[in-house]
Amino acid sequence: MEEKTNAFLVQERISVLMKKFAVPCIISLLVAALYNIVDQIFIANASYLGSYGNAANNVVFPLTVIALSIAVMIGDGCCAFVSISLGAGEKENAHKSIGCAIVLCILASLIITVLYFVFQDEILALFGGRVNEETFANAREYFTWITAGIPFYMFGQMMNPVIRSDGSPRFAMISIMAGAVFNIIFDPICIFVLKWGMMGAAVATIAGQILTAALAVWYLFHMKAIKLGKGSIGIFGGLIKKFIPLGVTSFLSQISVVASMAAINNMIVKYSALDGIFSQTEYAQIPMAVVGIVMKFFQIVISVSVGLAAGCIPIVGYNIGAKRMDRALELFKKLLAAEFAVGLVALLIVEIFPRQLIGIFGAANESPYYTEFAIKAFRTYLCLMPLATVNKGTFIYFQSMGKAMQSSVLSMVREILFGVGWAVILPVFWGLDGVLYSMPLSDLLTFGIAAVLIRSIFSKLNKIDQEGKL
């Protein structure tokens, strides 16, 4: 049944498959990113929260990414493994890996929830929450409620790629969109009508996450290509060793955001105190609020980039399992071109319309320093986005081929060595501007390494295709 259901992955045109799988994945990831971004937009435009609430949201954001990183590691790894297994006709591995992924996700989410509640103040301080007392109070209120929704958030995000691997990218998209729409509707009600402040933003978000998780549970009982049975659910060590490495790149691409934001937030706290303007108490939160907003825009762009590549995981995995290297190579070429185009469009937007972008996040309620620093941040921090999107697409494509080692190393170099390293080093020489320079420099150096690996993969796929064997 599985082979008949997914056989179109080696028969349909690559461009058609990319549209069918990538577009729903892009929308799903964009909607997922909007959970936090929508909160920030409404918070920023609430006069009683403003930049203090914005800064608090930036402090909590990487802590939600920690949960997301573990969820996508399990989900994307399972998705890649299921696709390869179905392409190779290994039905039992496919359904058991999904059952195992569900158990792992539930256990991980409960552990994270407990840790967040127990070490709340210490964690917030680690991510720059003590830039001033009002920011810390807002961050604590928001984080308390967001933590309560972690299990629902992680389960919904883990199941999204699993649903795609079953051949239902549209349902995966709908489940995420339903939760986000719910959040968008109730955010203004909770913040502006009920005046619940940071708690209101969090409660609306949790409600949306619960809806997404509920839809994922429903889908488990209505799967198409894979049917779960009594023997599907459990911890299977042999399968974990196979599918978790395939999700390591997704984990690193997300968790590295946490590492870089921790470094960036702490550098902002340190060097704002040395700045002529932002050392003043009433302006101290502005750099953290602004950089958080810029990174949220970048998150939108990266969601498109990752969606393009992650949506192709089932296509790549199935074709490799079916030994169709010619199609895998064609897909890689089309993916790289699409990734560059996404980055280029995003670059034009931030260079031409930075004032309009920051206006969405409550600039009218803030001092001129807020807008001035934001324009500089948008134009500097994001000036090499075309390279950033190509890098992301390359990481994930390697992952979908089962090249976990190459993908993981490249992600580590970009996000940890370069991303954190330059964020710590450059401010020593250029202060707050050094924080802004760290992003483009990291992407430029990473692209040099990615270019070598891209050429290597082209050569290898061509050679294997010619030899007619994997």
Region of 246 (left: φ > 0; alpha: ψ -120 to 50; beta: rest) is alpha
pLDDT confidence of residue 1: 36
Q: What is the DSSP string of 95-111?
A: HHHHHHHHHHHHHHHHH
Q: Of the candidates 395, 396, 365, which has an alpha carbon nearest to the alpha carbon of residue 289?
A: 365
- What is the C-alpha separation between 98 and 89, in angstroms, rounded? 16
Which H or E element spans position 372?
A: helix 368-381
Q: Of the candidates 258, 213, 195, 150, which has an alpha carbon nearest to the alpha carbon of residue 43?
A: 195
Domain residue extents for the chain: 12-467
pLDDT confidence of residue 250: 75
pLDDT confidence of residue 21: 84
pLDDT confidence of residue 4: 43
CA neighbours within 13 Å on the CB side: how many for 304?
Answer: 20
The encoded tokens of residue 392 equal 């992301």
The encoded tokens of residue 95 equal 């359904």
- The tens-digit pLDDT sequence of the chain (470 residues) is 344 456 777 878 888 888 888 887 788 778 767 766 787 788 888 888 878 888 888 899 889 989 999 999 999 899 888 878 877 777 787 888 899 999 999 999 999 999 999 999 999 999 888 888 888 999 999 999 999 999 999 999 999 888 987 878 889 888 988 998 898 899 999 999 999 999 999 999 999 999 999 999 999 988 887 877 777 787 887 888 888 888 877 787 677 778 878 888 889 989 988 888 998 888 888 898 898 889 888 988 988 998 888 888 788 878 877 778 888 888 889 999 999 999 999 999 999 999 998 888 876 678 889 899 999 999 999 999 999 999 988 888 887 777 766 677 777 788 788 988 999 999 999 999 999 999 999 999 999 988 987 888 788 777 776 766 54
- What is the C-alpha separation between 382 and 296, in angstroms, rounded? 11
Whole-model pTM: value is: 0.75
The encoded tokens of residue 167 equal 């051949």
